Amino acid sequence: MPFSLWKRILIWGICLLAVIYALPNAFYPRVERHNDAIARIEKTGETPELAADRALWPNWAPSKIVNLGLDLRGGAHLLAEVQVADVYKARMNSLWPELRKGLTAERATVGGVRRVPAPDGELRVQIEKPDGLAKAMEVAQGLTSPVISLTGVGQRDYKIEGDGNTLSMTMSDAERAATDDRTIQQSLEIIRRRVDEVGTREPTIQREGTNRILIQVPGIGSAAELKGLIGTTAKLTFQPVVKRTSDGTELAGAGNVLLPSLEEPGVFYVLEDTPVVTGEDLVDARPEFDQSGQPSVGFRFDPSGARRFGDYTAENVGQLFAIVLDGKVISAPRINSAIPGGSGIITGHFTVESSTNLAVLLRAGALPAGMTFLEERTIGPELGQDSIDAGKLAATVGYVAVALFMIASYGFFGTLAVVALALNIAMIFAVLSLIGATLTLPGIAGIVLTMGMAVDANVLIYERIREELRRGNGPARAIEIGYEKAMSAITDSNMTALISTAILFFLGAGPVKGFAVTLTIGVITSVFSAVLVTRLLVTTWFAWRRPKTIVV
């Protein structure tokens, strides 16, 4: 008897746990509603319907189930690249007033100061007196500070160079890296808030590589819808209007900017570049209807925004000011009187849907940078259901066929292998559920493939036992040698299988990763079930019946 009592208890215990934890998956829709209901009750409080849903599955029972991938549930998948360089320009724009202030204080040495065009991420100024360059650089140096990051130790945030009468400040590599990282973090946070606002189940929003974001939202109808929600930067500004024009090539002049109108083609506005207030000053935005019953978006400023907005409108009664969203003028109303209360309404040619969307976007905040979409996939829920059905059928037929084959080939011992195989599948589902892995269609294929390959260990063992019996060994001895001698081959073949599945995992995007995960788990659990479980079954049977001869 190769198993001590505690070993036997341990093996049976693991099998029992596997079955218990795999079981909720057999009642997938029920358990899912139960879990959803619990989550909703925690968030919004209990209602009779939610309580009824919760009662669908006992609270004491394990309720972890595998996540279904997008290809099985339906939904949208987007891979977005954040245009991190967008942020550099804004950084330089906000640095310029500081530098100007510093240099103006040293006017006696450096003379007049003028900003000249430069690539994004560089601030270039010309000073009147080239002799004052050293002083100017000193001033600029005073504006820099050390970068605090793991890789950029000792670097400062801006690099300062001087040449003749030109001074340039550029972001250092460490500062760029730190800025990029912040940009991505902010984008992630804002996308998460926007997706949560529309309240679909468990979206996946994660960073991929250095500047990419992967967004997967189950149950959403199309990628276009999702893109509408997260692809908009939603940078809202209120800017003073210099004039209205129909000439799109007009030079805006220093400190001004020319922007097109969103609604009226051919109309452009020259605006002051510095906004009075921005979307960051908002505390709330919601869809509303204006006096004429048109959909619109109501908003409220925070106290400092309200004060600035109130002061500005008080000083500029009769002037136009523009509401600008992502570089387009939504509307440019005239200021009829001071607006002190800090709340207002944006009217435009909105539909109910677009005003609701804009309100969501404004509440969640603006993205720090634009995004381009590199990959998008939408899978309809019906196709997902078809795939689940097909996968289930194929797995069932596969299991039965492999079982018949094993029993026909090895009789009673084949039956034991089939029992172990069933336990193996339970173990795969239990592990998938416990680690919260995602099951995809290739993942189902991985499970079916595991069924075929898991019996390999049993085949190796049984063939070996047959050989030992032919050599004239007694049944007990043959079984023992069979298991022991087959282990070398079993170890080697499973190790090499693990090597290739590990590489699959690192290669894998989405569905392929799901395949790698189930195959890896399947390889590991199959060693347990095909070697330990069958051996325990065989030895228990042997100790019980004490047969004089065995036929494998």
Footprint (CB under 8 A) of another protein, residues 112-171:
none
CB of 331 to another protein, least distance (A): 25
**Among residues 61 and 509, whose Cβ is nearest to another protein?**
509
Secondary structure letter of residue 221 according to DSSP: S
Cβ of 76: how many Cβ atoms within 10 Å? 24
Among 83, 245, 409, 415, binds another protein (CB under 8 A): 409
CB of 445 to another protein, least distance (A): 6
Question: How would DSSP label each residue in 338-379?
Answer: ---SSEEEE-SS--HHHHHHHHHHHHH---SS-EEEEEEEEE
The reply on whether position 470 binds another protein by CB under 8 A is yes
Interface segment toward another protein; rule CB under 8 A; list 45-53, 98-106, 321-329, 444-452:
444-452
Among 17, 198, 419, 449, binds another protein (CB under 8 A): 449
Give the pair of three-digit tokens for residue 372: 């381009």
Rounded to whole angstroms, the Cα distance separating 60 from 409 reads: 43
Interface segment toward another protein; rule CB under 8 A; list 94-102, 157-165, 344-352, 445-453:
445-453
- Adjacent-strand bridge partners of 288: 296
Among 445, 478, 521, 538, binds another protein (CB under 8 A): 445
Q: What is the amino acid identity at position 19?
A: V
Binding positions for another protein, 484-543, rule CB under 8 A: 484-497, 499-501, 503-504, 506-509, 511-512, 515-516, 519, 531-532, 535
Binding positions for another protein, 211-270, rule CB under 8 A: 222-224, 227-228
**Among residues 162 and 219, whose Cβ is nearest to another protein?**
219
Rounded to whole angstroms, the Cα distance separating 135 from 455 reads: 80
Rounded to whole angstroms, the Cα distance separating 56 from 35 reads: 10
Binding positions for another protein, 349-408, rule CB under 8 A: 372-380, 382-383, 386-387, 389-391, 393-395, 397-399, 401-402, 405-406, 408
Whole-angstrom CA distances from 186 to 77, 216, 279, 515 are 20, 18, 15, 32
Rounded to whole angstroms, the Cα distance separating 266 from 313 reads: 28
Interface segment toward another protein; rule CB under 8 A; list 22-30, 132-140, 192-200, 439-447:
439-447
CB of 30 to another protein, least distance (A): 25
Distance between terminal CA atoms of the chain? 19
Give the pair of three-digit tokens for residue 183: 């940009």
Give the pair of three-digit tokens for residue 355: 């005003």
CB of 18 to another protein, least distance (A): 18
CB of 26 to another protein, least distance (A): 20
Whole-angstrom CA distances from 348 to 193, 296, 332 are 25, 7, 10
Binding positions for another protein, 306-345, rule CB under 8 A: none
Among 2, 112, 253, 341, binds another protein (CB under 8 A): 2
Rounded to whole angstroms, the Cα distance separating 124 from 168 reads: 4
CB of 375 to another protein, least distance (A): 5
Residue 103, sorted as left (phi over 0), alpha (psi -120 to 50) or beta, turns out to be alpha
Helix (H) or strand (E) holding 282: strand 282-289
Secondary structure letter of residue 326 according to DSSP: T
Q: What angle do CA 118, 249, 263 make, to 5 degrees?
A: 110
**Among residues 77 and 124, whose Cβ is nearest to another protein?**
77
Among 17, 95, 452, 473, binds another protein (CB under 8 A): 452
Site string for another protein, 18-57 (x = CB under 8 A): ----------------------------------------
Q: What is the amino acid identity at position 302?
A: D
CB of 453 to another protein, least distance (A): 6
Rounded to whole angstroms, the Cα distance separating 110 from 138 reads: 11
Cβ of 449: how many Cβ atoms within 10 Å? 16
Give the pair of three-digit tokens for residue 271: 């605006």
CB of 124 to another protein, least distance (A): 31
**Among residues 313 and 378, whose Cβ is nearest to another protein?**
378
Interface segment toward another protein; rule CB under 8 A; list 171-179, 293-301, 302-310, 483-491:
483-491
CB of 355 to another protein, least distance (A): 20
Rounded to whole angstroms, the Cα distance separating 335 from 305 reads: 17
Sign of the C-alpha dihedral, residues 512, 417, 551, 411? Answer: negative
Strands 236-245 and 268-272, how do they pair?
antiparallel
Binding positions for another protein, 50-109, rule CB under 8 A: 71, 79, 81
**Among residues 260 and 398, whose Cβ is nearest to another protein?**
398
Tell me the helix, strand and coil percentages in the chain, rounded to 5: 55, 20, 25
Rounded to whole angstroms, the Cα distance separating 374 from 79 reads: 6
Among 17, 258, 453, 524, binds another protein (CB under 8 A): 453
CB of 22 to another protein, least distance (A): 19
Q: How many residues bind another protein (CB under 8 A)?
A: 92
CB of 78 to another protein, least distance (A): 8
**Among residues 17 and 498, whose Cβ is nearest to another protein?**
498
DSSP-based three-state secondary structure for 125 = strand
CB of 61 to another protein, least distance (A): 31
**Among residues 268 and 483, whose Cβ is nearest to another protein?**
483
**Among residues 139 and 402, whose Cβ is nearest to another protein?**
402
- Main-chain phi, psi angles of 76, to 5 degrees: -120, 145
Alpha helices in 435-510 (DSSP H): 441-470, 475-507
CB of 541 to another protein, least distance (A): 16
Q: What is the amino acid identity at position 136?
A: A
**Among residues 190 and 444, whose Cβ is nearest to another protein?**
444
Among 283, 335, 411, 419, binds another protein (CB under 8 A): 411
CB of 491 to another protein, least distance (A): 4
**Among residues 231 and 365, whose Cβ is nearest to another protein?**
231
